[in-house]
Chain A
Amino acid sequence: MTTQPLLDASGVAKNYGAVAALRDASLRVRPGEVHALMGANGAGKSTLVKILTGAIRPSAGRILIRGEARPLGSPAAARRAGLVPVYQEPSLIPDLDIADNLRLTGTPVAPFRDWVRALGVPDLDLRDLARDLPLAVLRVLDLARALSLEPDVMLLDEMTAALPANLAERVIEVVRGEVKTGRSVIFISHRFVEIAALCDRATVLRDGETVGVVDIVPGIEERIVEMMLGARVEKTRVAAAARDAQASSGPPRLSVRGLAAGSKLEDVSFELANGEVAGVVALEGQGQDELFAALAGSIRPSRGTIAVDGEPVVFGHPADAIAQGIAYVPGDRTEALLMQRSVRENIALPFSARLRSWGPLAVGRERGLVSAAIERLQIDTRAQREVQRLSGGNQQKVTIARWIAADARTILCFDPTRGIDVRTKREIYRLLRELAAQGKSVLYYTSELEEVQRVCDRAIVVFGGRVVDVLPVEIADEAALTRAAYGLPREAASLPASPSGATP
């Protein structure tokens, strides 16, 4: 290829202290192409994007635009160099109206209006405050703003994730038309379908390095998956589906009928038996957050019923759910822990009230229970005086340990292994299986699909706020789960597997 690349980044590295977020990334984008940037979670995609858009500075590397080194010290500098991003989250100032937002970034108004119309939003009032507009419209406005700056290279980060299907199609159409004029687009998405429809080439990152550049041709998906996962492709051990007669005795531990909550959870029904670990699988924003929040008592469902041990219940407060032995372990540990307090206090927190009523025994008893939980989870207590000084994995263990100490009968785990090292992950899997073997039940949402076969007995797949499939663990491999998570029927086996399909 003799044409000079529009954007040529090579040897880009970024260190945060001793941690290397990016080791040796390169990215070459030709004029007139849509270039996909791909990689599993933690591969360094977002770091590279931040560097290219001037949000952070690289520790090393060379970035040329049209063959020239341009300073990318700030978002404004990157914009002047011709690199305009559309971020994953809306970037308009919420308290300014649209017209002021355009003035702030020096965006010409007339082309902006044209683009907004072309993108399928005909009736925009520029005097509306950004905070009053729905998310999908804001995403479209972000894109229109970027387009009207006539950038050389546009960076679209998960642009279509928050869009309804018709707007997403318009976006793809517009982007296709745009590159015909010689501009380029860097497209970041987890949806293979879109990448196949839109992109010409893809750069794949793994562990902070560029591991390959491929042309997008039919069937390339498997190759990309291989590159993203590297040597890690191994057959996962199917969790012993050791559910025996125990499950069928008595009413189910948790029974959900026609549950709806918020704007995303439409109609979900399932049962969770004693001694079962049930996986919940869904793409981002399919209602899983609302489902777990409703079961944990932090929001009220708008429709439907929840029954515990066969008795219908109404949770008005998380304390009601806890009283029924239902504990919630959020993926974001800062939601659950008192970061400045000690490990022991954190574990004792949810049940200290209950223990107090046992009178003078409380302190000794509490200490015993806490110690037993720490022992059981092998929490590293060297830094126990402040939870915030523990590693992420150990923090997550503390959030689980408190419910073991509190003897919760049902644990709702929402992506509990997010950002945790492999060893701790394994320990958490083992622990959850042990709990199940003791007759406790676990509802386990995960964005890492391979976890389903490691811990769960079956997988409940949610799409568009409804349960679309329930897969027994034997067939719930990543490919099958991905298909189901996109709302495709089980038979349609022709679609490519995407292991990161549901990861954010």
Chain B
Amino acid sequence: MALLEITGASVQFGGLTAVNEVSFQAEPGEVRALIGPNGAGKTSLFKAIAGEEPLSAGTIRFQGAPIHDLTPHEISARGVRRTFQNGGLFGELTALENILAGLHTRIPSSFGGLLLGTRAAKTAEKNGTRKARALLEMMGIPHVADQWARDLSGGQQRMVEIVRALATDPPLLLLDEPAVGLAPPARAELMKIIRRLVEEENIAVILIEHAIEFVMTVCDTLMVLNNGELIAEGPPEEVRRNREVLEAYLGR
């Protein structure tokens, strides 16, 4: 049983077919990259996996159970976490509070407990804070904990967003253009982190990216979308030589 199993998935906006009968499977311990020209349907496919866009046909199963009829928060609670192409961080919260927001479902304090200030509610909040600090430490950015998210540099914001998505140890992580706006050293660092997560934590990562060199180095499987259709899927070097891909995507 695959971790994520997409079968014949289509997404339509009125008369426009953004994703057309796409099928693939993702396994734990692999990085899949999704590339394609602008408007190819990459983000629409991501949104469909995350429950933000309904499918017009097909199914999406996660850990064996269908998730395409669930709401985004239900899908997230099951262990599919994502980052966003633009924004996504809560600018009015500190980096630490952003991670705590990511841990929302893991802080088991009841409304009554919070109201009365019970020991259990205080302990839950303390444990959450401890875990959030440990995560920032693990990612090498403990110094940003108490800074407003909106004041962080682009690279730091990306890292905090990834840490926030990882806070609940999700089996599947969707990264929407994680390398955009990052300087080469930050990209290299991000690449190392993604590889480490996949190899050590055995999670699956699916990422959308335009930076081809980054994609070629980081992924195990490369998928190419064009006009909503999956035109190639395989090891990056193999896909790179695919004639259809060269014509559609690289324009050669």
Chains A and B form a bound pair? no
Residues of chain A touching chain B, judged by Cβ–Cβ distance below 8 Å, are none
